[in-house]
């Protein structure tokens, strides 16, 4: 097992030798978790809607996802943001960041650690931070379809404008990728977070993405995100639905 001191020294050494932050992260990963390393795969998404005249609105969505594999580990970083105004009044200002580290056990199972951070003005949510660890397993694999399930547990802290709370949670999820045709791929994530502190309370995260290629590196994506909180604060809707149409560009950074 790698000691914390070794990991810290590896990070300091990588920063000292690297010309860029990305180089430092690559060097740190190789030092802290030796194994064959793949390039970073980075996907950025952008959507913009503007209307003028009888109704003046603006909706801006931005996202970035980075994936790095260094056998038997996989590191995933993801950021999604949305901002909207109607008649110069803010109607959405939301940001979600997810960091996830997976350690393969074999071809069909793995351990995971996930950190989730969220801010939402319209939900009166200053921040929601949760850290979970757990086990994931492939449930089905066919030529054009693959499904995984996961179970885990962790801790959640929420700070709203008027209240704050810390509690233990479970994490139960299923996700799949279905290549419907050569030109259409459907990705689904469903995760439920039951409370361990308050029986019957839970949060639900549902994300559906339809993607079709425009060119070798460009995709068009229709994303549907639904968030449900059974114990939303007074005055805040318990269900939050977001539908966006974006352009995605994918590129890679060469392996070390």
Cβ-proximal residues to 171 (8 Å cutoff; 6+ apart), any chain: 114, 132, 134, 150, 151, 152, 153, 154, 191, 192, 193
Predicted local confidence at residue 7, as pLDDT: 41
Which domains does the chain possess? 1-34 (no CATH), 38-253 (2.40.160.40)
Are residues 85 and 57 in contact, defined by beta-carbon separation less than 8 angstroms?
A: yes
What pLDDT digit, counting tens, does each position of 154-204 carry?
999 999 988 899 999 999 999 999 999 999 999 999 999 999 988 889 999
Give the span between the Cα atoms of 24 and 132, in whole angstroms: 26
Residue stretches of the chain with pLDDT short of 50: 1-22, 24-25, 28-33, 255-256
DSSP E strands, the chain: 40-51, 57-70, 73-86, 89-106, 109-120, 125-142, 145-160, 164-181, 184-194, 202-213, 218-229, 239-253
Beta bridge partners of 152: 134, 171
Predicted local confidence at residue 254, as pLDDT: 61
Which is it for strands 125-142 and 89-106: parallel, antiparallel or unpaired?
A: unpaired
Predicted local confidence at residue 35, as pLDDT: 55
């Amino acid at each position: 097992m790698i000691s914390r001191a070794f990991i810290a020294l590896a990070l300091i050494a990588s920063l000292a030798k690297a010309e860029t932050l990305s180089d430092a992260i690559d060097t740190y990963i190789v030092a802290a978790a030796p194994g064959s390393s793949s390039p970073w795969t980075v996907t950025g998404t952008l959507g913009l809607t503007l209307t003028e005249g009888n109704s003046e609105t603006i909706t801006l969505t931005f996202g970035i996802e980075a994936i790095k594999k260094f056998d038997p580990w996989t590191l995933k970083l993801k950021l999604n943001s949305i901002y909207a105004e109607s008649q110069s009044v803010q109607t959405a200002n939301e940001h979600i960041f997810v960091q996830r580290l997976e350690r393969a056990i074999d071809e069909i199972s793995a351990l995971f650690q996930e950190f989730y951070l969220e801010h939402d003005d319209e939900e009166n949510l200053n921040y929601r931070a949760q850290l979970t660890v757990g086990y994931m397993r492939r449930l089905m694999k066919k030529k054009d379809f693959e499904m995984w399930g996961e179970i885990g547990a962790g801790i959640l802290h929420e700070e709203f404008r008027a209240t704050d709370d810390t509690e233990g949670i479970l994490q139960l999820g299923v996700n799949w990728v279905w290549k419907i045709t050569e030109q259409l791929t459907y990705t689904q994530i469903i995760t439920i977070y039951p409370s361990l502190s308050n029986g019957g309370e839970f949060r639900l995260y549902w994300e559906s993405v339809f993607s079709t290629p425009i060119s070798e590196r460009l995709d068009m994506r229709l994303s549907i995100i639904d968030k449900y909180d059974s114990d939303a604060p007074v005055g805040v809707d318990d269900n939050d639905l977001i539908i966006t149409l974006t352009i995605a560009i994918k590129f890679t950074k060469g392996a070390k």
